[in-house]
Each structure stands twice: as C-alpha cells, then as structure tokens.
Amino acid sequence: MTNKTPEQRSYVARVSWVSPEGRYAMTNVVGIGRVTFSFAPGENVWAEGDAPIKGAKVVLSNLVMMDGGWRALKARYYRPEDQASK
C-alpha cells in the first residue's frame, strides 16, 4: 500500500500513438488501460521542449477520468534517475 495521494502517484508507460495534428499522445498503463496526454503548447501538461516520440517511455501523473477515458494532466520523458527511485 502506498501513502501517496492520487495526485502524487506516477505511472510509467510507452507512447503508442502521437496525433498527426500534434496535440495528443496515447499510452497504455498496466492495470489502468489507455491514458492520453496533451503536448499542445500552452497547456502545461508535457514538461519537455520537443514533442513525444512513439515508443518512448514516459512518466504520467495527475490522472483524471474524462468522457473519453483517462487523461494525464502531467507528463514527461522517463529518465535514468527514475530507475534509481524505484
């Protein structure tokens, strides 16, 4: 059992799809299913300067259920220091 609140929990997933118009990406989180996130400028969800790459490992947090399924309100690339914190 974890002491983290839902807002503090993070999930690691791989980007499985990036929208052609360059606004959203989709992942599959084990135990949760499909989770999307926005990387549109000005939405402050994607923490990186470049668009996510299909196949890249990402860290998702602040998941909320929307009409279309789960959405991450924070997302970034998975980094070596993430391995150390497991």
Alpha-carbon 10 to chain mean position: 9
| Domain boundary assignment for the chain | 10-80
Handedness of CA 68, 71, 77, 82 (dihedral sign): negative
More reliable by pLDDT, 42 or 71: 71
**pLDDT tens string 58-76:** 999 999 999 999 999 999 9
Nearest-angstrom CA–CA distance, 57 and 53:
9
- The CATH fold assigned to 10-80 is OB fold (Dihydrolipoamide Acetyltransferase, E2P) (2.40.50)
More reliable by pLDDT, 28 or 84: 28
